[in-house]
Amino acid sequence: SRLHRALASMSHARQPFSRGAVVTGKAAKRSIVKHPAELNRAVDTRRVRWEIVKPWIATRVTELLTVEDDVLIAMIYNLLEQDAIHKTGVYLFSQLQTFLEKDTETFMTELWDLLVSANANPSGIPQRFIDEKANELRRQKTVADELRGRQRESDEKTAAARRDVKREVPVKTETDDGRGGGPSRRDGEDRRGRDAARNRDISRDRLRRRSHSRSRERSRSRDRYDRRDDRGKGRDGNDGDARRDRERR
C-alpha cells in the first residue's frame, strides 16, 4: 500500500543516534560487511595517546556530518576503548555505517591509519600529527624570520636616511651681510676669536681707566702742591711789605 511504501522510504533516512541501534551479533555482522582493506590491521589502544587523537575524531565527525553530534562522538570513544586490542576495524566500521553512511569508509580509513601510526611511534602520537606540527613550527619560524628581516631592513633604511640628513646639513659660511648657514667648526673658531678680542678690549679699557685714574691723581697732587706754594709766597710777600712799612716809619 501507499502507507507501506512511505514507511519503507523513511527507513533509509538518517535517524538520530540511539544506543539501541548498535548492532549485536559481531560474528554474523563481520561475515557480511564489506569493508576497506586498510581495516585489516590490529591496533593496541593502550599505546595510543587518546588526548591527541580524540580531538581529531570529534572534529572530523563534525566535518562529515556538518553538525556536531556529541552522542555519536561519545559512542565512537566507547567502541574504541571497550577492547584493549582491536584485531581489525571491521566491527567499528559496521556500527558507524548507520550514522555516517557513505562517509563511513572515509572516516574509518583515516582513523585506522592514525591508530596504526600511533602504535608504531614510541610517543603514541600518529606520525601525521608530528609532521603537521613540525610544518607549523617551520612556517612560524619562516614568518618570524621574514618579519625580523623586514624590521632589519627598515632599521637600516632609517639609519641611512639619518646619515644622509646629517651630511646634507648646510655648513655656516660668513658672507658680506653676515648671514650664514648652520653651525660649523669655523663658526666656533670665529666665536672664540671674537671672545678673545672682546677680552682684549676689556683689558685695554681697564688699563686705560687705571692710567686715567693715575693721571688724575698726579694732577690733583700737583694742584695741591702749587696751591701750597702760592699760599707760602703770599705770606712771604706780606711779611716783606710789613717790614718795609716799619722801616719807613
Residue reference for cell 688724575: 216
Please give the span between the terminal C-alpha atoms of the chain, in angstroms, as a whole number.
198
Instruction: Tell me what percent of the residues of the chain surpass a pLDDT of 90.
Output: 45
In angstroms, the CA 58 to CA 101 distance is: 17
Q: Within a 10 A sphere around the Cβ of 222, how many other Cβ atoms?
A: 10
Say how many residues make up the chain: 249
Between β-strands 43-44 and 85-86, what pairing exists: parallel, antiparallel or unpaired?
Answer: antiparallel
Nearest 5°: CA angle at 94, between 88 and 97? 135
Could you tell me the three cell numbers for 87?
Answer: 584485531
Q: How many helices (H) and strands (E) does the chain have?
A: 8, 2
Mean pLDDT, residues 91-95 taken together: 95
Query: Residue 232's pLDDT is what?
Result: 56
Query: Residue 166's pLDDT is what?
Result: 77
In angstroms, the CA 61 to CA 106 distance is: 11
Q: Higher model confidence: residue 97 or residue 179?
A: 97
Please write the tens of the pLDDT for every residue from 114-125.
999 999 999 999
Q: Give the type of residue at 100.
A: L
Residue reference for cell 591508530: 115
In angstroms, the CA 214 to CA 224 distance is: 15
Query: Residue 188's pLDDT is what?
Result: 62
3-state secondary structure of 43: strand
Q: 127, 120 in Cβ contact below 8 A?
A: yes
Query: Residue 23's pLDDT is what?
Result: 46
The structure's pTM equals 0.51
In angstroms, the CA 181 to CA 54 distance is: 76
- CA 142 from chain centre, in angstroms, equals 16
